[in-house]
Amino acid sequence: MTLKTSVSRRAVLAGAAAGSAALAAPAIVSAQAGTLRIGVLLPRSGLLAQAGQSCHRGALAAPRVLAELGYRVELVHVDTESNADIARTQAERLINDGAHVLTGAFDSGHTLAIAQVCEQRQVPFVVNIAAAPPITEQGLKFLVRNFQTGPQLVTNGLRLINNLIAATKIDPKRAVFLHANDTFGQAQRNAMDAIFPRTNMPFQLVESIAYDPRAQDLSVEVTRLRSLRPDLVLVVTRASDAIKLVRDMVRQRFEPMGIVSPGSPGMYDEEFYQALGPLADFHVSNLPWVNPKSAMTQALERSFAATNPGNRFAADGFNAGFTFEALLIAADAFKRAGTTSGVPLMEAIRATNLTEHVMIGGPIRFDEKGQNPNIGSACVQNRGRMPVVVLPEDSATMAPVLPMPGWQGRT
């Protein structure tokens, strides 16, 4: 639900020689007394629309839960259109409009564009999702990130593969790493190259294969995969290429023990389930996830069902969960700081210590760089076209199943 006060704007004549073009230059509007005004910048259209809309659904579900917890927030939603230019100008506009905190922005480039604005204007920025390590390596004082960096995702993802092997008693000897050659995929590849040799995994990583996520199909990559005979296929994908990958595996009758993502989206997206049906089952994603046993998660799920009746919380849990937590962090800091002023509000955000939250992991805290080091990861396996937590045991609602059943005869 979007709560928004009406904002008056002054029209600005731009270009005397050219005639006039109205610019929406907003007046600063104060939020209701005692309410925190949060600008939510997400890529709800354009290239990143699928993920951005998923995050947005979490933001829509948030106010009700936050109100139940005693927080008063007002959200202003802005679509960055998957464009860094718009992300930057809209960050400026939101602050002009009286936003006390900004959250977003899913994409690392957009996040850094917004972060520069927030730094200059001394407005706190709580990053919901963005994995590039440099975001918290720049010494930015008005930014915190409640999301794992690429290397953290891979480290936790690989650790959980060991747990998965132990829990299912499989004995893989060979693995291949297949990744989309985009910003995120490349960051994961770099992390994999650096971290895998140090992890003493019980299998050999025989090759890493990069593919263009814009390719029409992945038949060439799957042919190469088959020739390498891996027991495990480790993937970093997006939904559309994960679909292509499984389809080409089925076409070529290639059946590894399992397809496991050491920290990427794709295989738990609604699009993946809809496109593949029973073929979407049994794939594993190792990544941060909502804790199904947390009371706050359950409250968020109820609110999500009410605000997004056409969508399943299970498939949106990752994006919605992190977006909700970003808002929770801001709201909690405001409650403690008792002011919307940027500097004390940021101090309160940096002093965050939230033991009750929705994502699996320890208390939400931030180190000196503004990074939350306590975010956990879970093994999430697709079961019955649903992402289900199968590890760690204290959060699991099902036991993991590997090797995965063959493609044929699935229902």
Residues that bind another protein (CB under 8 A): 2, 4, 6-7, 9, 12, 14-19, 21-26, 44-45, 49, 52-53, 77-79, 81, 84-86, 88-90, 92-93, 95-96, 108-109, 112-113, 116-117, 119-121, 132, 134, 138-140, 181-183, 185-187, 190, 210, 212
- Rounded CA gap, 57 and 36, in Å? 20
Contact (CB, 8 A) for 381 and 400:
yes
Q: How far is the CB of 190 from another protein (least distance, A)?
A: 6
Tell me how crowded residue 371 is: count the other CB atoms within 10 A of its CB. Answer: 23
Q: How far is the CB of 21 from another protein (least distance, A)?
A: 4
Q: How far is the CB of 78 from another protein (least distance, A)?
A: 7
Give me the least distance between CB of 115 and another protein, in Å please: 9
- Characterize the bridge pairing of strands 232-236 and 174-180: parallel
Q: How far is the CB of 153 from another protein (least distance, A)?
A: 13
User: Measuring CA to CA, which residue among 283, 275, 287, 294 is closest to residue 255?
Assistant: 283
By beta-carbon proximity to another protein, the closer residue of 80 and 382 is: 80
Separation CA 9–CA 4 (nearest Å): 15
Q: Which is nearer to another protein, 87 or 328 (CB)?
A: 87
Closer to another protein by Cβ: residue 132 or 245: 132
Which of 163/240 has CB closer to another protein?
240
Name the helix (H) or strand (E) containing 118.
helix 108-121
In which element (H, E) is residue 74 found?
Answer: strand 73-79
Of 376, 379, 340, the closest CA to residue 358 belongs to 376
- Which of 186/294 has CB closer to another protein? 186
CB of 357 to another protein, least distance (A): 27
Pairing of strands 258-261, 378-382: unpaired
Alpha carbons 311 and 57: distance in angstroms, whole number: 9
Phi, psi of 13 (to 5 degrees): -75, 120
Q: Please state the closest distance from residue 15 (CB atom) to another protein, in A.
A: 4
Smaller CB distance to another protein: residue 46 or 403?
Answer: 46
Of 138 and 219, nearer to another protein (C-beta) is 138
Instruction: Measure Cα distances from 388 to 185, 267, 288 in Å.
Output: 24, 12, 12
